[in-house]
Amino acid sequence: MFVKICGLSTAQDVAAAIAAGADAIGFVLTESPRRIEPAAARRLAEQVPAGVLTVAVFGREPSAEVRRAATAAGVGAVQLHGDHPPAAFAELRDLGLRLVRATSAAAGAGAACGDFGEDLLILDSPVPGSGEPWDWSELGANPPSGSWMLAGGLSPANVAEAIAAARPWGVDVSSGVEVRRGVKDPALITEFVQRAKAAG
Ligand SMILES: O=C(O)c1ccccc1NCC(=O)[C@H](O)[C@H](O)COP(=O)(O)O
């Protein structure tokens, strides 16, 4: 089970995610209470070992801004929210970074990872980073295929149930490992990673 912890902003939280065995770490570089500057993301990314994927998270920024900020942050991947068209992923391909497409369950049911030129696919709640769970049974008999992550309202308390219900390749969390919006709890990060790995 691939586990991504998103919205990190302190060295302590990054260290907790790495120590717990997270596979990917996200830095929010778009409008959000979790937003950090690309230079801050670079400082955090520099403490991440090569085997852990660092991800810069964006919303509807134009490709030129995504390129500028992702390059400044020195990350290994770019995550785009906001239902960008395939052309947006094609425009970023020459950056040499992994490309992550985040979309809602309604848009992603039956999708295949790679449909838009992405390397990883995330099925999220309609409001990313809100911590709002959605009805995983919406996927029904039509889950995505390939390397797709379940996100949206996951927490240590429900991640095992979510994995059993949706059978994703990976999971992604932000709010569920926070004590309040934008403030992560290292103990919750550790618990989330352990429970997700045990369930997968
Ligand atoms: O975190 C944000 O505020 C955010 C804002 C705009 C686009 C994406 C954002 N976050 C992405 C994520 O944290 C995760 O990929 C995912 O949405 C999980 O969020 P949560 O439901 O809070 O666990």
Query: Using 50, 70 and 90 to split pLDDT, how confident is the model at 108?
Result: confident
pLDDT at 42: 98
Q: Whose CA is nearest to atom 11 of ligand 1?
A: 129
For the Cβ of 184 lying below 6 angstroms from any atom of ligand 1, the answer is no
Rounded to a whole number of angstroms, the distance between the first and last alpha carbons of the chain is: 5
Helix intervals (H) in 24-104: 38-45, 63-73, 86-92
Chain segment 114-141, per-residue pLDDT in tens: 999 999 999 999 899 999 998 887 787 8
Q: Which two tokens stand for residue 155?
A: 């927490």
Q: Residue 75 in contact with residue 50, Cβ under 8 Å?
A: no
Chain segment 151-184, per-residue pLDDT in tens: 999 999 999 999 998 999 999 999 999 999 999 9
Chain segment 12-37, per-residue pLDDT in tens: 999 999 999 999 999 999 999 999 99
For the Cβ of 34 lying below 6 angstroms from any atom of ligand 1, the answer is yes
Q: Is 94 a known active-site residue?
A: no
Q: How many domains does the chain have?
A: 1
Radius of gyration of the chain (CA): 15
User: Does the structure show a pLDDT above 80 at 145?
Assistant: yes
pLDDT at 138: 79
**CA 163 from centre of chain:** 16
Chain segment 64-105, per-residue pLDDT in tens: 999 999 999 999 999 999 999 999 999 999 999 999 999 998
pLDDT at 37: 98
Q: By residue range, what is the domain housing residue 92?
A: 2-199
Q: Whose CA is nearest to atom 1 of ligand 1?
A: 129
Query: Using 50, 70 and 90 to split pLDDT, how confident is the model at 38?
Result: very high
pLDDT at 128: 94
ipTM: 0.97
User: 164: how many CB neighbours lie within 10 A of its CB?
Assistant: 11
Q: Does pTM surpass 0.80?
A: yes
Please give the distance, rounded to the nearest whole angstrom, from the Cα atom of residue 84 to the centre of ligand 1: 16
Query: Using 50, 70 and 90 to split pLDDT, how confident is the model at 189?
Result: very high
Q: What is the mean pLDDT of the chain?
A: 96
User: 137: how many CB neighbours lie within 10 A of its CB?
Assistant: 9
CATH code, domain carrying 155 = 3.20.20.70
